[in-house]
Amino acid sequence: MTDTDKRLLRRTVDIAHQAMEKGNHPFGALLADKDGNILMEQGNEFQEGGSAYHAETLLLMKAAKKYSPEELKSCTLYSNFEPCCMCTGALYWTNVGRLVFGATEKELLACTGDNEENPTFSLSSREVVERGQKDIIIEGPVEDEELLEEILKDHIGFWK
């Protein structure tokens, strides 16, 4: 994981914090081009109809309207947490070529427990992608303990 990756993951933490301050779950995502320039940002948003409005899926749906599959192939999705199977599916179908995430679904489960607002899957993004037909690069989780603490900070106690 590069310094640019770490910088952009820190930005997803800021996006997640802003989402939390607006009354949403603390998740954040961004899309960057091959040079690390931020193209789009998205936090979780509560919307009528349930909790399927994850930051990653919302961002990817917007990106698919703005960029071609060829352009998205050279982009990276950054997320403070490992995307769930729905969000990983959105990454797959929009043709984004790389994913970088901070903390794993298992680390999220340790924060959420059995909270009905976030019933996590026991299915990694790597497992989802392995069953597809595209070569998507996945980097994560972070090994930098300081960055991991930053990622987990807003989630500790949030789900109680």
Q: Which residues are catalytic?
A: 56
| SS3 labels along 90-125 | HHHHHCCCEEEEEECHHHHHHHHCCCCCCCCCCCCH
Amino acid code (one letter) for 51: S
Spatial separation of the C-alpha atoms in residues 138 and 135, rounded to whole Å:
10
